[in-house]
Amino acid sequence: MGNFALCFSEISFISPLTVKPNSNTLFGSIIYSLYRIKGQNYVVDVLEKFKNGEPPFLISSIFPIKNNNYYFPKVILPFEKTEGLDSKMIKKIKKSQFIHQEILKTLLTSEKKVADIYKDFLNSNDYFVNIIKFDKTHNSIDRFTNNVREDGGLFFETSFVLNNAFFLILLVDFELDLLKQCIELGGRIGLGGNKSTGAGKYSVIEIKEVVDNKKLDFLIDYIKNDSKYFITLSPVIPKTDIDIDKSYYELEFYRGCVEQDFNLPVNNIWKKKVIYLKEGSVLSLKDNNEKFLGCCPIVHNEKEIIQYGYEFRMSLGV
């Protein structure tokens, strides 16, 4: 890939989120903070690089930390029953969202079958975790009278709870100090929806290069953007074909809205719907000449508003 720096940011959430902490939400927060710090012209220049396939940095989604261990999205690979792995164990694996760093390390380095690797780690609940998710009930309020509407309308809002968490950053052509400022400001503003009521706020614990973290430094050997076969740690909006026969993935549909504080007046706040390949997908490229599988497409009819969709590769070296 050339010169780059692989970094990580460890954060502590102060309040629940109203969205899953994916890389596209994190990207929006970073860009909005950059807008507040450097101004609109600077942000336009940065976004042009993302749009043209020359991203100055890449980010993963946000993943949980538990008992000082780091968890990654469960890798989407098929596995069958094997000796010592019963249906109850398989159910536990399938229900899990995140896997311990040691499982990811083993999947990247071992030639063992996936089922055998999982079986080796099933003796403890610490190796498989989920993000807590719950629904809150709200009354619909008549904003003119400040009373509950006569029809008694209720609506439900989903919240996601994380305590300590982290994400990865691949710096290609961007100052780490400036990115730190953006991440710290983003924590004070809040991540995702309902920021005005305090949702999604976090504090930054540290931002360092991965080489300084003994539990994550193994990742450095697997950051290869020229790899044809890889795990992605961020959702991908593919712009080129993948090898279907050698890829394993799940689809996720997403439709966001325009951030109103960007001084971008629009008649329709809704962006176009996009299709993502989820984090943890194992992808094989048909054309290895492409620098990236993902892209940042324009997703609005009135303004050149982009949606973050670059992969964050962990090479499988196959």
pLDDT average, residue stretch 151-157: 65
**In this predicted structure, what is the pLDDT of residue 258?**
73
Q: How many CB atoms lie within 10 A of CB 318?
A: 10
Share of the chain above pLDDT 90, in %: 53
Q: From edge to edge, which strands make up the β-sheet containing 282-284?
A: 282-284, 229-232, 313-315
248: phi then psi, degrees, rounded to nearest 5: -135, 120
Q: Does residue 147 register a pLDDT over 50?
A: yes
User: What are the tokens at 30?
Assistant: 């970073």
pLDDT average, residue stretch 44-54: 95
CA dihedral 22, 26, 29, 33 (to 10 degrees): 180
Q: Which of 43-52, 65-74, 108-117 has the lowest mean pLDDT?
A: 108-117
**In this predicted structure, what is the pLDDT of residue 7?**
96
CA dihedral 257, 259, 265, 271 (to 10 degrees): -20
- Where do the H-state alpha helices sit in the chain? 23-38, 40-51, 87-95, 101-109, 114-120, 176-189
**In this predicted structure, what is the pLDDT of residue 33?**
95
Select from 77, 56, 57, 130 the least CA-distant residue to 100. Answer: 130
**In this predicted structure, what is the pLDDT of residue 200?**
87
- Sort 170 into a burial class: Cβ within 10 Å, 0-12 / 13-18 / 19+: buried
pLDDT one-digit tens code per residue, 178-190: 999 999 999 999 9
Torsion over CA: 166, 172, 176, 181 (sign): negative
Q: Which of 37-46, 288-297, 307-316 has the lowest mean pLDDT?
A: 288-297
**In this predicted structure, what is the pLDDT of residue 140?**
61
pLDDT average, residue stretch 3-20: 92
pLDDT average, residue stretch 191-207: 88
Q: Which residue has the tokens 């991540």?
A: 191
Angular region, 308: left φ>0, alpha ψ -120 to 50, beta rest: beta
Q: Which residue has the tokens 């990236």?
A: 292
Task: Please report, for residues 98, 231, 255, 266, 291, the alpha-carbon distance to residue 277 in angstroms, rounded to integers and kept in the order given.
Answer: 16, 11, 14, 29, 18
Q: Does residue 60 register a pLDDT over 90?
A: yes
Mean per-residue pLDDT of the chain? 86
Torsion over CA: 90, 275, 277, 178 (sign): negative
Contact at 8 Å (CB) between 315 and 228? no
Q: Does residue 132 register a pLDDT over 80?
A: yes
Strand partners, 242: 285
Task: Please report, for residues 51, 69, 90, 124, the alpha-carbon distance to residue 129 in angstroms, rounded to integers and kept in the order given.
Answer: 35, 11, 14, 11
Q: Which of 28-32, 123-127, 261-265, 304-308 has the highest mean pLDDT?
A: 28-32
Q: Does residue 253 register a pLDDT over 80?
A: yes
Select from 224, 208, 244 the least CA-distant residue to 292. Answer: 224
Contact at 8 Å (CB) between 249 and 283? yes
Distance from C-alpha of 281 to C-alpha of 315, rounded to nearest angstrom: 12
